[in-house]
Amino acid sequence: MLAYYLDMALRHCRRSKALTALVVVLMSVGVATCMITYAVFRATAADPIPWKSNQLFVPQIDSFGPAHNWKGEPPELLSYTDAVALLHARQARWQVLIYGSKWTVLPGDAQHLPSSQEGDAVSRDFFAMFDAPFRYGGGWSASDDEQRAAVVVISSALNQKLFGGANSVGREINLDTHNYRIVGVLDDWNPSPRYFDVSSSWYPFSHPRQLYLPFSRAIDLQKAAAGNFYCSTNSVDPALPNWDSVLHSECAWIAAWVELPTRADVGRYRDWLRNYAAEQQRVGRFAWPPNVRLSDVGEWLRTMNVVPKASALSMIVSVSFLLICLVNVVGLMLARFMRRAPEIGVRRALGASRGAIYRQFLTEAAAIGLAGGVLGLLLTALGMAGIGHVFEPEIARLAKLDASLWLLTVLVAVLTTLIAALYPTWRAAQVQPAWQLKSNG
Task: Answer whether residue 428 shows pLDDT above 50.
Answer: yes
Specify the higher pLDDT residue, 429 or 63: 63
Res. 346 pLDDT band, cuts 50 70 90: low
Instruction: State the pLDDT confidence band at 202, using cuts at 50, 70 and 90.
Output: low
Top mean-pLDDT range of 55-64, 323-332, 429-438: 55-64
Rounded distance, CA 281 to CA 277, Å? 6
| Phi-psi label, residue 132: left if phi above 0, alpha if psi -120 to 50, beta otherwise | beta
More confident site: 342 or 287: 287
Q: Inform me whether the pLDDT recorded for 441 exceeds 70.
A: no
More confident residue, 341 or 50: 50
What are the two backbone dihedrals, phi and then psi, of residue 9, each rounded to the nearest 5 degrees? -60, -45
Q: Which residue has the higher pLDDT, 175 or 19?
A: 175
Q: Does residue 242 surpass a pLDDT of 50?
A: yes
Of the pLDDT bands very low, low, confident and very high (cuts 50, 70, 90), residue 437 is very low
Q: 138-169 pLDDT, tens per residue?
A: 999 989 988 999 999 999 999 998 888 999 99
* pLDDT confidence bin for 8, thresholds 50/70/90: low
Query: Of 12-21, 76-85, 299-308, which gets the smallest average pLDDT?
Result: 12-21
Give the domain ranges of the chain. Answer: 2-47+308-439, 56-303
